[in-house]
């Protein structure tokens, strides 16, 4: 296979002739959608069909649909889901019901996505925010302890895959301690490896079955004092060998300000460090061309991991959407 080891965004709600030509020639492994690409269900379905037509295969199409602040499909055409933090806050009161709520939350989201041709979701967030951290994670988190995040993360994973959507755990090895937003600048984590291994790393280690994981753009000094995780061979080696993660590893968006250097250089460094694919979200032509110049064709191991991820987006189980939504609402609105 000759898929480029890249996931690209696009400019608007429909494909331009130039985008069609570029995607046909570049043949990226997958695509990602944002709010700028979303108008109505019919429009999104046409867009996802067009994207697959350009590459001639049933590729993965990603989105960030967590609930709360981070959801690209919104009312009036889609359900506005609450944040995972608000659901997770009920965990100590009733763990079983909270697990069920998180499971249904992700089943419902996955059913919404499948309906319009989206079959991969950059969720769940497994980061554990601490007091004093930047609010970029905050109520996106499933909880404040590694045990709770792992427990509810497994429910989230099951919900997405039950409805035929491939999940992405993020942001490995953990973004919850960051005191700055990596969209804007580079966070530096100074805690010891013993501390991190007993807290932040735990949910990721416990969810090795996840088909895909997204890297965190931050420096973990205990792993590499000089390089962000995404471009650090030492950090990626730790994720693979010590944390035991063997699924497809994708970068977070290379356009984020936490990373420095031109996109061609960053793409090469990211893939050389050990990520399987790079993510570039802006949909801007000059940026996509720079990434394409630095990217390579998926290697044999990356192709195997990519195929496993694709399998997770096939053949959803029978799911009664109306009954699921009725149960879900009875749980999230419970006293």
Task: Mark whether 315 is an active-site residue.
Answer: no
CA 309 from centre of chain: 12
CA distances to 60, 93, 328 from 31, in Å: 7, 40, 30
Q: Which of 123, 213, 222, 129 is nearest to 163 (CA)?
A: 123
Q: Which of 200, 252, 253, 276 is catalytic?
A: 252
Encoding tokens for residue 135? Answer: 């609010």
Q: How many CB atoms lie within 10 A of CB 113?
A: 28
Give the chain's end-to-end CA distance (angstroms, integer): 53
Max Cα–Cα distance, the chain, nearest Å = 55
Q: How far apart are CA 55 and CA 146, in angstroms?
A: 40
Task: Mark whether 183 is an active-site residue.
Answer: yes
- The enclosing H or E element of 213 equals strand 212-215
CA distances to 61, 102, 198 from 143, in Å: 28, 12, 15
Contact 132, 146 (CB under 8 A): no
Cα 260-263-267 angle, rounded to 5 deg: 100
Q: Which of 77, 181, 183, 255 is catalytic?
A: 183
Beta bridge partners of 31: 8, 61
Using DSSP's 3-state secondary structure scheme, residue 327 falls into: helix
CA distances to 69, 253, 264 from 274, in Å: 31, 16, 16
CB burial of 171-195 (b: ≥16 within 10 Å; e: otherwise) equals: bbbbbbbbebbbeebbbebebeeee
Task: Report the interhelical angle of 95-115 vs 321-332 (nearest 10°).
Answer: 140
Catalytic residues: 183, 252
């Amino acid at each position: 296979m000759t898929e480029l080891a890249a996931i690209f965004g696009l400019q608007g709600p429909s494909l331009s002739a130039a985008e069609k030509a570029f995607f046909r020639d570049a043949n990226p492994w997958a695509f990602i959608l944002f709010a700028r690409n979303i108008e109505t269900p019919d429009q999104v379905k046409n867009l996802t069909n067009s994207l697959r037509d350009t590459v001639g295969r049933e590729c993965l199409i990603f989105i960030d649909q967590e609930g709360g602040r981070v959801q690209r499909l919104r009312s009036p055409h889609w359900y506005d889901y609450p944040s995972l933090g608000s659901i997770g806050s009920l965990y100590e009161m009733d763990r079983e019901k909270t697990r069920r709520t998180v499971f249904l939350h992700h089943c419902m989201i996955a059913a919404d996505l499948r309906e319009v041709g989206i079959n991969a979701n950059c969720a769940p967030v497994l980061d554990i925010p601490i007091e004093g951290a930047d609010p970029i994670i905050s109520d996106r988190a499933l909880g404040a302890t590694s045990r709770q995040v792992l427990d509810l993360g497994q429910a989230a994973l099951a919900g997405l895959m039950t409805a035929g959507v491939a999940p992405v755990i993020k942001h490995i090895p953990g973004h919850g301690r960051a005191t700055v937003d990596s969209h804007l600048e580079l966070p530096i984590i100074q805690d010891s490896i013993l501390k991190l291994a007993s807290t932040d790393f735990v949910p990721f280690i416990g969810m090795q079955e996840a088909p895909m994981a997204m890297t965190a753009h931050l420096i973990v000094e205990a792993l590499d004092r000089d390089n962000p995780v995404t471009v650090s061979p030492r950090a990626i080696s730790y994720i693979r060998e010590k944390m035991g993660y063997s699924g497809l590893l994708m970068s977070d968006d290379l356009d984020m300000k936490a990373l420095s250097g031109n996109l061609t250089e960053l793409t090469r460094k990211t893939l050389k460090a050990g990520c399987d694919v790079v993510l570039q979200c802006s949909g801007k032509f000059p940026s996509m061309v720079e990434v394409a110049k630095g990217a390579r064709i998926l290697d044999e191991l990356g192709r195997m991991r990519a195929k496993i991820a694709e399998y997770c987006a096939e053949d959803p189980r029978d799911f009664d959407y109306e009954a699921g939504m009725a149960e879900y609402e009875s749980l999230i609105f419970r006293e």
